[in-house]
Amino acid sequence: MARALAATIALILLTTCGLFVVHPWWFPSAISAAASSIDHQFAVTFIVCLILFALAQGTMAWFVWRYSGDRQSAGMGGGRGNARFERAWAAVVTVLFVSLGVVGYRVWARTTLQGSPPGTLRVEVWGEQFAWYFRYPGPDGQFGPVHPDLMNDGTGNYLGLDRDHDAASRDDIVAATLTVPVGQPVELRMRSKDVIHSFFVRELRIKQDAIPGSVSAIHFTAERAGQYEIVCSELCGLGHYKMHADLDVVTADEFQEWLVRQSQSQ
């Protein structure tokens, strides 16, 4: 029975390592400038965890197999162990995981804490149960104030803008699709109308929570034109499964044409 257990552990280990090498399930092609560093961080973390997993499971399988029939050793009771080896192992694991955390923090900080370079397109992303809305500033470059008492999805005033009295709101554009020009830095300002949502685009390798009462920012630069899916990756209610929108990455000329069409329809 013990050797069967050891063989089962070894089989699971070999299967896991095989899936890692073949990786039949993997990320879709990246489209953002920062995606390569994120993918590299993930791959390094994955490799380190696989090595630790292989060492731990391989050692366990070897001991189960090696001492499966040793009744004398089995009846000797617990030993003192090797304190020096345990401390060394704990130190190695601690250094590895702290190092991965530090590197990961630097990768994350480049998409969330960095300043916006000149020419950055700023867009507000609003989440509500169960839809996304995107607000662009008009030619004045300013977002108008939001009035919660004026928010009414039935009349199409999703963000509570008072265009009749707030000059900064008159040229704001509110859309159900996030459209950005290829190659231009974009800053998304995340906001929520009700509960916590999470903005996630696989191809951009970015994920950022939208929290009621606060504003958080995330940056990206899309390098490939196309249409991609935006989903909510935070369970936000019964309709969570249908909370998605489109990210359209277009050329600079197409983006300007889109802005004109949207401004005419507001």
Architecture per CATH, domain 121-265, reads as: Sandwich (2.60)
Q: Kindly tell me if the per-residue pLDDT of 17 is higher than 60.
A: yes
Helix (H) or strand (E) holding 233: none
Rounded mean pLDDT, 198-222:
92
Which residue from 134, 173, 144 is spatially nearest to 261, judged by alpha carbons? 173
Count helices and strands (H / E) in the chain: 5, 10
pTM of the model: 0.78
Q: What is the pLDDT of residue 63?
A: 82
Tokens of 93: 């694991």
Question: Which pairs from 136-144 meet CB under 8 Å and 24+ separation?
Answer: 136/172, 136/173, 136/175, 136/259, 136/262, 137/171, 137/172, 137/173, 138/170, 138/171, 138/172, 138/173, 138/263, 139/171, 140/167, 140/168, 140/171, 142/168, 143/168, 143/172, 144/168, 144/169, 144/170, 144/172
Q: Kindly tell me if the per-residue pLDDT of 204 is higher than 80.
A: yes
pLDDT digits (tens, 9 = 90+) for 92-119: 888 888 888 888 887 777 777 676 778 8
Question: CB of 209 within 8 A of CB of 234?
Answer: yes
Sign of CA dihedral 124, 128, 132, 138: negative
Query: Distance between CA 19 and CA 118 in Å, rounded?
Result: 44
Question: CB of 199 within 8 A of CB of 234?
Answer: no
Helix (H) or strand (E) holding 116: none
| Polymer length of the chain | 266
Rounded mean pLDDT, 64-88:
67
Residues of the chain within CATH 2.60.40.420 domain(s) are 121-265
Q: Kindly tell me if the per-residue pLDDT of 251 is higher than 80.
A: yes
pLDDT-above-70 percentage for the chain: 94
Amino acid, res. 126:
W
Query: Distance between CA 207 and CA 210 in Å, rounded?
Result: 10
